[in-house]
Amino acid sequence: MLFNSIDFFLFLPIVFGLYWLIGGKRIKTQNLLIAIASYVFYGWWDWKFLSLILFSSIVDYSIGLWLGKTKKISTRKLLLWISICVNLGFLGFFKYYNFFIDSLIDSFTFFGKELNLSTLNIILPVGISFYTFQTLSYTIDVYNKKLQPTKDFIGFMAFVSFFPQLVAGPIERATNLLPQFSKKRSFDYANAVDGLRQVLWGLFKKIVVADNCAKYANIIFNNHTEYNGSTLLLGAFFFAFQIYGDFSGYSDIAIGISRLFGFNLKRNFAFPYFSRDIAEFWRRWHISLSTWFRDYLYIPLGGSRGGLKMKIRNTFIIFIVSGFWHGANWTFIIWGALNALYFLPLLLTNKNRVNTDLVAQDNFLPSIKEVGQMALTFFITLIAWVFFRADNVLHALSYLQNMFTASLIYKIEIFPSTILLLVLFFIITEWLGRRGEYAIEKIDFMKRPIRWIFYILLIVLMFSFTGEEQQFIYFQF
C-alpha cells in the first residue's frame, strides 16, 4: 500500500479510529491492532511475503529470549550468528543472488572461461533491507546487553512490522522503538497535530517535488545522448531533488503517522542539501542507515581507533557496503566508493567534524563562504547521484562524459519553469524551516487562519501537480 494512494487514505483513518477508540489505553490491544494493520498494509502488496516477516520475527524473538537465558559466550555467539545468517541470508538470496551469479559469469567470461550458471526469477520483497536491519539491531543489542529481551511476542511482531516505517524506514533501533511498545500510550493532541503536519509536508515533498522532478530526470537520463551538458546537469539536479523529495518525504510521512499513534521515530533527514562538506552531508542524509552502519559495522571493525590505515579502510568499507545495501548493481558500489573518496580528504586532515552546527545558525542568510561550501558539496553529491540513477556503469560514465563538455555552458534544452519554481519554493521553505525537525514544524508562530491557508495551498499544489511517478524509490532497496 502506498502512502500516496486512495487505499491508504481510507486505511489510515480506520486504523487510527480503531486504535484510539477500541484500543483505548490497553497496550496489548493497541499492539495487536498495530500488528494486524501492519500485516494488512504489507499484504496489500503481496501477502505471500508476509511469511518472511513472520519467520524473521519468530527467529529473532526466540533468539532474543535464548540470549537472555544463557550466559555461555560460545552459545551466545552461535545464537547471534544464527540470527545474522538467517536475516542476511534472506536479504542475500532475494536481493543479491542474481547479482553474484551475473558477476561470477562475467568474471569467468573475462578470463575466457564459460560458466554454466543461471539466474533465478526472484521478486525482491518490498522493504526487506529495512526490516532485516531493524530485527538485526534487536538481536545485536540483546547480545551486547544493551537491551533486555522482550517476552511480549505481539509487541515484538508490531515492532518488526510497524507499518509506518516497514517498507522504507527510518530503520529504527530496537533500543528506541521496542520499549515504546510496552509503554502506556495515550492520545496527545499537540503530538498528533504535529504528526499530521509532518505527513502533509512529506506528501508535498513526494507528490509535488519528487514526482515532478522524476518526470524530467527520466526524460534526460533515458535520452542523455541527445542533450547538451547543461541539460544533463539539470537532469542530475532533478534527480537530486527527486531522490531527496521521495525518500525524505517518505520518512516525514512515516514519522508523522507514528506520532499519530503515539510513537516517536528517529529523525532520518536534516536538510542535507544545506551541508557545507560531505561529512556534514552524511550526518544529515539517511541518518538511520548511516548510524546503523556506524554502530553495527564501523565501530565493531575498530572504527577510528586503530590508526590512519584502519580509519581509511573502515571508511571505505562502510561507504561501499552502504552503497551495496541500496541495490545489487555496480553503480551503487561506485556511488558508495565515490562518497568515501569525497570523505577521505576531510578524514586525513581531521576536518570531518568541523561543521557540526546548523548553517547560518544565527543568521537569516548564509555567508558567501557558506554559499560556496554548500554549492560545492551539492555539486559533488550531484556527480555521485549520476551513478545512483544510471542503469549501469557505462550509462553513468557516458552521462558524465557528455555533461563535462563545452556544451555545459550552452543554453539548457529542457526548461520546465513551473517545476523549477516549485523546487525553488521547496528550497526556500526548507531554508526558512531548517531549525526545526522538518521544514514546517515551527509554523505555529503564524495565526491559525494563515497556517490553514498555507496547508490548503500545499494540498492544492499536490492536486494540481500530481506527477506520473507514484512508487517510492526506496521501496526497491
Partner 1 sequence: MKKFFNNIILFGLVALCIGEIVVRLTHVNSDIPYRTIDDMGIQKYYPNQEGYWKGGDHKWMVNSLGWPGELPDNYDNLITIIGDSFIENFMNPNDCHQSAYLKREIPNYNFLEASRSGVTLIESMEISKQTDTLNPIATLIHTGNGDIYESIKEIKSLNDITQLNTKDEVIIHGKMKSPGLKKVLYSWKLLYYLYNRFPLNFKNESIADSKKDKTEKSKFEINETRIRVLLNYIKNNYKIENKIFVFKPNSDDNIINLFKSMGFKTIILDSSKDKSWSFEHDPHWTCYGHERAAAQVSNKLKLSFLNRITVD
Binding of residue 189 to partner 1 (CB under 8 A): yes
State which residue, 378 or 455, has the beta carbon closest to partner 1. Answer: 455
**Minimal distance in Å, beta carbon 261 to partner 1?**
13
Among residues 459, 465, 475, 476, which is the contact residue for partner 1, using CB under 8 A? 459
Binding of residue 93 to partner 1 (CB under 8 A): no
State which residue, 446 or 460, has the beta carbon closest to partner 1. Answer: 460
State which residue, 375 or 453, has the beta carbon closest to partner 1. Answer: 453
**Minimal distance in Å, beta carbon 203 to partner 1?**
14
Region label for 204, one of left (φ > 0), alpha (ψ between -120 and 50) or beta (otherwise): alpha
Binding of residue 193 to partner 1 (CB under 8 A): yes
Among the candidate windows 118-126, 317-325, 419-427, 447-455, which touches partner 1 by CB under 8 A? 447-455
> What single letter denotes the amino acid at residue 279?
A
Binding of residue 466 to partner 1 (CB under 8 A): yes
x/- map, 151-170, partner 1, by CB under 8 A: --------------------
Largest interatomic CA distance in the chain: 72
Residues that contact partner 1, how many (by CB under 8 A) = 15
Among residues 99, 455, 465, 475, which is the contact residue for partner 1, using CB under 8 A? 455
State which residue, 200 or 439, has the beta carbon closest to partner 1. Answer: 200
Choose, from 224, 286, 326, 395, the residue flagged as catalytic. Answer: 326
Does the active-site annotation cover 224? no
* CB contact at 8 A, 111 and 51: no
Binding of residue 192 to partner 1 (CB under 8 A): yes
Among the candidate windows 74-82, 110-118, 238-246, 451-459, which touches partner 1 by CB under 8 A? 451-459
State which residue, 370 or 441, has the beta carbon closest to partner 1. Answer: 441
**Minimal distance in Å, beta carbon 214 to partner 1?**
19
**Minimal distance in Å, beta carbon 98 to partner 1?**
28
Q: From residue 152, how far is each of 28, 68, 70, 184, 290 by CA, in Å?
A: 9, 14, 19, 14, 29
Binding of residue 6 to partner 1 (CB under 8 A): yes
**Minimal distance in Å, beta carbon 457 to partner 1?**
9
Binding of residue 463 to partner 1 (CB under 8 A): yes
State which residue, 188 or 391, has the beta carbon closest to partner 1. Answer: 188
Binding of residue 20 to partner 1 (CB under 8 A): yes
Binding of residue 445 to partner 1 (CB under 8 A): no
Active site residues: 326
- Which residues of this protein are in contact with partner 1, per CB under 8 A? 6, 20, 187, 189, 192-193, 452-453, 455-456, 459-460, 463-464, 466
